[in-house]
Structure 1
Amino acid sequence: MTCRDDILAVARELSHVHPSGTFSTQNILQVMRLRKTRHSDAEIRRHISTYMCANAVGPHAAQFQDLERVSRGLYKLL
């Protein structure tokens, strides 16, 4: 599975835990570490904050419209 696939799987699980459906980057990292991910923390963070975030800015931003940043380090699924 790709880094994006792994993040989405964890995000779906975490979004059900919190009433507002939000989760933090740290939450994602913790679960992925427990599952012995092959992806580095930096790669996971980059995917969440840049590639997968619909409201990210920058040259490689929002390649996928998977997440929305609702506050610093806090996201929800779209």
Structure 2
Amino acid sequence: MTCREEILVVARILSRQHADNTFSIQDIVAAMRARGTTHLDTTIRRHVSTQMCVNAAGPEAGKYKDLERVSRGRFRLL
């Protein structure tokens, strides 16, 4: 399973656990570690904060339109 696919699985679970359907990068990293991921924390963080986030900045920003940053350190599935 790719890093992105694992993040999406975990993000769906975490979204249901919070009333506002948001989660932090640390929530994602911790949940993926608990599931036994082989991906590095830095890879997971980069995917969430840049590649998968529609309103991120940078050359790889919004490569996949999966997440939206809703406040400092909080993300939501699109």
Q: TM-score, normalising length from structure 2?
A: 0.97
Secondary structure in structure 2 of the residue aligned to 1:37? coil
Query: 1:16: which partner in 2?
Result: 16
Query: 1:3: which partner in 2?
Result: 3
* CA shift for structure 1 position 38: 0.5
Secondary structure in structure 2 of the residue aligned to 1:70? strand
Distance in structure 1 (CA, Å) of the matches to 2:36 and 2:73: 22
Distance in structure 1 (CA, Å) of the matches to 2:29 and 2:19: 20
What RMSD in Å do the two structures reach over aligned CA positions? 0.5
Distance in structure 2 (CA, Å) of the matches to 1:19 and 1:62: 25
* CA shift for structure 1 position 60: 0.7
* CA shift for structure 1 position 32: 0.5
Secondary structure in structure 2 of the residue aligned to 1:68? strand
Aligned partner of 2:77: which letter? Answer: L
Identity, in percent, stands at 59
* CA shift for structure 1 position 73: 1.4
Structure 1: which 4+ aligned runs deviate by more than 6 Å? none
Aligned residues: 78
Q: Does residue 1:54 correspond to 2:51, yes or no?
A: no
Q: TM-score, normalising length from structure 1?
A: 0.97
Unaligned segments of structure 1, at least 5 residues: none
Distance in structure 1 (CA, Å) of the matches to 2:46 and 2:67: 13
